[in-house]
Amino acid sequence: MPYYDDILEFEPNLDGSDLRVGIVMSRFNIDIGEGLLSACTAELKKNGMQDSNILIVTVPGALEIPLTIKRMAMSDQFDALIALGAVIRGDTYHFEVVANESARGLLMVQLEAEIPIANGILTTDNEDQAIARMSAKGMEAAQVALEVANLHIKIDEVDI
């Protein structure tokens, strides 16, 4: 096992007290979206975020999330962004298009804008699966946003 005592290492930090977070939620499958949002905002607040440092916007569906996230990322007002929604499999190929392209869009924005984006868009086979996962996924999205935002701040501050 390697010996790391003399190597600088950043521990995970979920402190949200000094962060600003934007959330974009899809209104399609609104009940699932609201469950995701409730768990997400509860976790943000649990970790010290103030209501005044959280902005929530909604869009019609998951495919509209990346463009809105990009607009928010380019505003330089946020330390991290969170995408929330549910894409539930139907009888057509549309499920794969929406699931894949929304995820690809978020990744592209994240890399281009260099801002953490937590992907909390559920992709499930049915509504029961989405309901079962919404609380955990909302909480996890908040944790990812806080941890990676704090990590980026530390990386920007480090002098080695």
- 31 among annotated binding-site residues: no
User: Of these residues, 27, 94, 104, 154, which one is catalytic?
Assistant: 94
Ramachandran angles phi, psi of 12, nearest 5°: -60, 135
Distances in whole angstroms, Cα of residue 146 to Cα of each of 86, 127, 139? 22, 28, 11
Query: Quick check: 59 and 26 in contact, CB under 8 A?
Result: yes
DSSP state of 47: T
Per-residue pLDDT, 1: 46
Domains and CATH numbers, the chain: 36-137 (3.40.50.960)
- 92 among annotated binding-site residues: yes
Where are any strands of DSSP class E within the chain?
A: 21-26, 54-59, 80-88, 117-124
Distance of CA 96 to the CA centre of its chain: 20
- 141 among annotated binding-site residues: no
- 87 among annotated binding-site residues: yes
Is 152 a residue of the active site? no
Per-residue pLDDT, 2: 55
- 63 among annotated binding-site residues: yes
- 91 among annotated binding-site residues: yes
pLDDT tens per residue, the chain (160 residues)? 455 778 999 999 999 999 999 999 999 999 999 999 999 999 999 999 999 999 999 999 999 999 999 999 999 999 999 999 999 998 877 889 999 999 999 999 999 999 999 999 999 999 999 999 999 999 999 999 999 999 999 999 998 8
